[in-house]
Chain A
Amino acid sequence: MIEVTARYFAAFRERAGRDREQLTTSARTAAELYGELARKYGFADSMTRCKVAINDELADWNVTLEAGNEVLFFPPVAGG
């Protein structure tokens, strides 16, 4: 188990009812953590349409999480 900080943006933030939280997780990758959170909060978006950033850098969903990481979850974007 490791401790990470999850940050939620836009629709994810509203769905989770918070913009960040500390989590203790057995997830090994960002994708696994998204799976856990999707179950917890009912995030319905397919991961392929969302993005993840770690410590303010866009990252691959398969990146291995490390203790202390700040993991940012971005729902599908809609600028313009």
Chain B
Amino acid sequence: MSFKITSVPIDPEARKRELVQSAAGACVTFEGWVRNHNEGEAVQALEYEAHVGLAEKEGAKILAEAKQRFAIETAVCEHRVGKLAIGDCAVWVGVSAGHRGAAFDACRYIIDETKARVPIWKKEHYASGETGWVNCATR
């Protein structure tokens, strides 16, 4: 299991290979993409910043919790930092499990906890030329 912060594009196929286990009958992956709007504003680009050491530490905790709560084989998560364009993959989560239910549940848990807990910040660059930090922690 690994949680990585990266400043280069995420390679989903490479991360997916880390999920392969002979006991796994299900694989669920999630990709978060940069979209061109947020709360009514036209977005041109996003910039992510992280405290890499603490982000990877908190992320590893989330993966360990997922493994404990759900009957999964393994899980990985990778999150970008730096400036991203519309359509770029900002975050990738992958889970393998014996059966699909646990894989879906764990994947959802990992992305939700990552958004709420991991020290990563997102700055939106709007079409108007303005920028704004997003406060999207949801609890």
Contact = CB atoms under 8 A, between A and B. Distances in A.
B109 to A, nearest CB: 13
Contact of B122 (A9, A45, A72, A79): A79
Interface residues of A, number: 18
Nearest to A14: B133
A79 B134 CA distance: 9
A79 B135 contact: no
A77 B54 contact: no
Contacts of A20: none
Nearest to A58: B54
Nearest to B115: A80
Given A10-B49, A72-B51, A78 B119 contact: no
A77 B137 CA distance: 6
B90 interface: yes
B120 interface: yes
Interface string A56-80: 1010000000000000101111111
10 contacts: A11-B121, A56-B53, A56-B54, A75-B121, A76-B135, A77-B116, A78-B115, A79-B79, A79-B122, A80-B136
Interface of B: 32, 48-51, 53-54, 58, 79, 90-91, 111, 114-123, 133-137
Given A53-B51, A80-B111, 19 more contacts: A9-B49, A10-B121, A10-B123, A72-B51, A74-B119, A75-B133, A77-B118, A77-B120, A78-B121, A78-B122, A78-B134, A78-B136, A78-B137, A79-B91, A79-B118, A79-B121, A80-B91, A80-B115, A80-B120
Interface of A: 9-11, 14, 45, 49, 51, 53, 56, 58, 72, 74-80
